[in-house]
Amino acid sequence: MTAADPEFPPGKVFLVGGGPGDPDLLTVKAARLIAQADVLVYDNLVSPAVVAHARADAERIYVGKKAGNHTLPQIDINQLLVSLARAGRRVVRLKGGDPLIFGRGGEEADSLREAGIPFGIVPGVTAAAGAAASTGIPLTHRDHAQALVFVTGHLKDQSCSLDWPSLARPGQTLVFYMGLTSLPEISRQLIDHGMPATTPVACIRRATLPDQQTLVGTLADLPAQVAAAGIKPPALLIVGNVVKCA
């Protein structure tokens, strides 16, 4: 891209997926837009190697969220994007994974649309796909799983009140995002609603990165394994018979 590229004029925002961590998994378009941006507004889950694609003179604004510790509330992030665009900046809102899969990209797009700010969305490799590839776990498999469900590990009110009867059905793979803290509750609820306690589960921390950690167990024993190993977020949970293929 050149400085005058018509796709990215001053005052426009791109919501960009930064992928699961490995910078080689960043899309070509995402890398070009990051290099073009005047301002990079980025999350906790974006790896430093991805941020490094930004121009040396670009402003970098960290708005990362960790459990119980938000640099900025979401409503303030929404307003920040609007303000930066109205100031004539070319803005990349950089998110880990894909911006529209548990990335709050939909909320930010709503705010930009309501404010009349032009924006675009660039998909990224979501954490589930990255974790599956880096562990050899097929998310679907004709012999094991005919459906794939992405699930949040906690709701907006921080509860874990989910449709457990539906999630406990056989023949599907469940991928829990942000579910590590809720792992004991997830395991208990799935077992209570009919999923066998022997169902294999994988916990993958920092998927696709050199320090990736993977634990494999069952619904019954994985919570204790994770606690004993001291695994901390960010981590992803994959539940289902496909985990046997790891």
Q: Annotated catalytic sites, by residue?
A: 43, 65
Non-local (6+) Cβ contacts of 4 within 8 A are: none
Backbone angles phi, psi at 231, to 5 degrees: -65, 130
Residue type, 120: G
- Number of other residues whose CB lies within 10 A of the CB of residue 223: 20
Beta strands 91-95 and 13-17 are parallel
Query: Position 20: which residue type?
Result: P
Could you tell me if 91 and 12 are in contact, meaning their C-beta atoms sit under 8 angstroms apart?
A: yes
CA 8 to chain centre: 25
